[in-house]
Amino acid sequence: MSLDTSLSSVLADQGYLRERLQPRRGDDFYLHLVDLLAALRPITADPAETVLDYGCGGSPYRRLFSQRTYHRTDLPGTPGLDHAMDEAGRVDAPDASYELVLCTQVLEHVRHPGAVLRECLRLLKPGGRLVVTTHGLFEEHGCPADFRRWTADGLAAEMQDAGAQNVRVQKITFGGRAWMFFMDRWSCCLTGLRSQQGRRGMQLVLGLWRRLQPAWHRLADALFAHQAVAPAGTADSMIYVGLMAVGEKPTQAPE
């Protein structure tokens, strides 16, 4: 199995990469991508010298780790890989090869997430950290398939079941900020009208919304900047767009 050529080109597109590393007001997914970037930035303070980007795609966050030894793994067909991955997510690298494994927006696209998490932990040195980001509430988006969504408790349990310890989960884009994100994204659902008059009217509405998006994003930043990233359990965080979980590989094998 290999990554579809068209999908590979999308993941490597400069616009796609720029939106994730330099999100701007007016971008379709700005409110969540800017929060996801804020959640990931503190990870760069990790003293790890060796980093593996698992399911790397176009490696949008590579620059955050520019001072480290940074390796990439994904399905064959992805350009510039350091390690190949088979369709079950197994990587052709030895045990305990890395001090940090980064797995961003991958877990929802795999059939067996527990197996993927165990493989990530296998690749970690004892005491190394696994950083996983994925979706809470989000629209369906095949890449090439889309299998599940997570709750904070569910993701933490999955990490622990795979063998990670000291798991900490943060919610990304929650509360009123999540509401404003969903209002923004629901505009893309206002299609499929059958009458020609209805389609033309909706095109006008969507064109107007495009012009208003930057102002909508500025308003969200002004009102709900405090609802970008917070530990699971924070007040008003029952509805959230994304999650980040950080866990450690035990320094000793379980008895």
Measure the CA–CA gap between 36 and 39, rounded to whole angstroms.
5
Q: What is the pLDDT of residues 105-146, one digit of tens each?
A: 999 999 999 999 999 999 999 999 999 999 999 999 887 899
pTM above threshold 0.75: yes
Q: Where are the domains of the chain?
A: 5-174+228-248
Tokens of 19: 């939106």
Name every residue whose Cβ is closer than 8 Å to that of residue 175 and which is 6 or more positions away in sequence.
224, 227, 236, 237, 239, 240
The third-level CATH classification (topology) of the domain covering 5-174+228-248 is: Rossmann fold (3.40.50)
Q: What is the pLDDT of residues 199-242, one digit of tens each?
A: 777 777 777 888 899 999 999 999 999 999 999 999 999 999 99
In the three-class reduction of DSSP (H, G, I as helix; E, B as strand; rest coil), residue 89 is classed as coil
Query: Is the distance from CB of 57 to CB of 76 less than 8 angstroms?
Result: no
Q: SS3 letters for 182-228?
A: HHHHHHHHCCCCCCHHHHHHHHHHHHHHHHHHHHHHHHHHHHHHHHC
Determine which helix (DSSP H) or strand (DSSP E) holds 157, and give its type and residue range: helix 152-162
Measure the CA–CA gap between 153 and 232, rounded to whole angstroms.
9
Name every residue whose Cβ is closer than 8 Å to that of residue 155 and which is 6 or more positions away in sequence.
132, 134, 169, 243, 245
Query: Is the distance from CB of 104 to CB of 59 less than 8 angstroms?
Result: no
